[in-house]
Amino acid sequence: MPPAYAPRPRPDIIAAHLNSGVYMGHRTALYDAHLAAGGKMVDFGGWDMPINYGSQIEEHHAVRQHAGVFDVSHMTVVDIAGAGARDFLRHLLANDVDRVTPGRALYSGMLNDSGGVIDDLIAYKRDNDYRLVVNCATRETDLDWMEKHAGGFAVDIRERADLAMLAIQGPQARSLVAGLLSGARAEAVNTLKVFGFAEDGDWMIARTGYTGEDGVEIMLPGADAVKLWEQLLDAGVAPIGLGARDTLRLEAGMNLYGNDMDESITPWEANMGWTLVLNDRDFVGRQPLLNQQQHGHGELVGLVLEGKGVLRAHQQVLLPNGEQGEITSGTFSPTLGKSIALARLPAGATGKVDVEIRNKRQPAQVVKPPFVRNGKAVYKEL
Amino acid sequence: MSEIPAELRYAASHEWAKNDDGVVTVGITEHAQDAMGDLVYVELPEVGQVLAAGDEAGVVESVKAASDIYAPVSGEVIEINEALEDEPELVNNVPYEGGWLFKIQMSEAGDLDNLLTADQYQAQIESE
């Protein structure tokens, strides 16, 4: 059976083109709600998204200390159905969907033939089919890759551009969300285990996130998302922009596709070895991973800057033995009050290193991420 | 609409300059701090350092990016705002007052005439 997906026409965007004569990005169902909340809109992978609603640092603290809501509707949702869905995903993904039972999700890389990461994604296992959530910037590449590998599998690949997605994160997130819902939806928010999910009508509620805090991510129709967003804001949940999303995920030690890994980087080199299931199934990228496992590879580790300043992507890291590495993501950590980074270093790097910032060497400590979990510093020095 | 005090002069690179009898106080504009977002680190020149107009004089870093600061006039740095070491957010909160960066003993009074007036700076940011 040939896979079926086609980019959906977007009447809203076409109309915007015709009316303005100027290119406008894609807009989520919450675009007007972002403007109403004071969102500063920027282009993000072709989408007009809020970078912040005033202060990125205040938004960051709101998620660590209370609760915040993110519009992540720009992310690409793909449903994988058909009798061959399981075999297809066991071939396509480096993690093994057989590791989880229905109602559970798992994190995986989707690799190229060299073992490089085409994208990272969450796979949700349902009773008879699967849902994937992939990055928006890699949407076309991902869908083409899936289609290319679907030959020989009885599988139906269907993008769900109709769904919006909200992430509600923070120590109070689940209790505040549950208070706005009823029946099976409230029950799901209250009782789901980490990486568990439940569906009710058009809603999928998952206890997942990208912040290192407790919370849920909800996929739902756009009109429902607008209503829930308004209820959440009325309940004191702070709207959170993409700026704080990045500082939160980096404190949580989570990778950002395009920064910390890409098609030239394998999961071994991106602190994703834990997602690899090297059993006897033949998945795309398997053999290069086995080769690299034997021959060695660089590692993605954490850095904490000792003095003042800010670590940034692409700064050079100098080891005491003369070897070098590079920062892949860096920022100021609002929770720790100092700068942190993920860096790709030669295997086994530990202790103190220097980072070259504007031609000056600044000392930093090599650590094992995550940096922050549930509001507290948790990193360990290596 | 961001605040652009009429009595100050402005560099195209978004610094403001305030002249008091040849001592020029330098900061970044309301517009610049808003574009940068929350500042978390400010690197200032050293007292005694001699700068020419247009020289790199420091760096302001927000959570998302680093941005160079340029000397709007030539002269010797005679004072830096040490409060910014612990409170870089002063630049966000009061960019024209407690968020000033450094003071220069101006060596070329004519440098001020090369800077933009408030109206000219306003026109520049509207055209950006």
Contacts of A337 (CB under 8 A, 6+ apart): none
Give residue limits of the domains in chain B. Answer: 29-123
User: A133 and A75 in contact (C-beta within 8 Å)?
Assistant: yes
- Asked whether the ipTM of the predicted complex exceeds the cut of 0.90, the reply is no
User: What's the mean per-residue pLDDT of chain A?
Assistant: 93
pLDDT attached to residue A14:
40
pLDDT tens digit string along A259-296?
999 999 999 999 999 999 998 899 999 999 999 999 99
Share of chain A above pLDDT 90, in %: 91
Phi-psi region of A234 (alpha: psi -120 to 50; beta: other; left: phi over 0): alpha
- Chain A residue closest in CA terms to B85: A308
pLDDT tens digit string along A114-168?
999 999 999 999 999 999 999 999 999 999 999 999 999 999 999 999 999 999 9
pLDDT attached to residue B1:
57
Compute the average pLDDT of residues B41-54. 96
Chain A residues close to B42, C-beta within 8 Å: none
A332 to B66: CB separation less than 8 angstroms, yes or no: no
What φ, ψ does residue A18 adopt, rounded to 5°? Answer: -65, -40
A309 to B37: CB separation less than 8 angstroms, yes or no: no
Domains and CATH numbers, chain A: 11-66+162-251 (3.30.1360.120), 298-381 (2.40.30.110)
Tell me how far apart the alpha carbons of residues A336 and A189 are, in angstroms, rounded to a whole number. 29
Q: List residues bridging with A43 in a β-sheet.
A: A48
Regarding predicted confidence, which is higher, A342 or A4? A342
CA of B95 to nearest chain A CA: how many angstroms apart? 16
Tell me how far apart the alpha carbons of residues A200 and A260 are, in angstroms, rounded to a whole number. 35
pLDDT tens digit string along A296-306?
999 999 999 99
Chain A residues close to B37, C-beta within 8 Å: 51-52, 55-56, 243
pLDDT tens digit string along A65-122?
999 999 999 999 999 999 999 999 999 999 999 999 999 999 999 999 999 999 999 9
- Reply yes or no on whether the pLDDT at A313 is more than 50: yes
Tell me how far apart the alpha carbons of residues A329 and A315 are, in angstroms, rounded to a whole number. 9
Interface test with A, best of B38, B61, B67 (most A CBs within 10 A): B38
- Reply yes or no on whether the pLDDT at B83 is more than 60: yes
pLDDT attached to residue A23:
56
pLDDT attached to residue A20:
45
CATH architecture of B29-123: Beta Barrel (2.40)
A378: tokens are: 């948790």
pLDDT attached to residue B13:
95
Tell me how far apart the alpha carbons of residues B106 and A95 are, in angstroms, rounded to a whole number. 64
pLDDT attached to residue B82:
97
CA of B37 to nearest chain A CA: how many angstroms apart? 7
DSSP A277-320: --SSS--TTHHHHHHHHHH---EEEEEEESSSS---TT-EEE-T
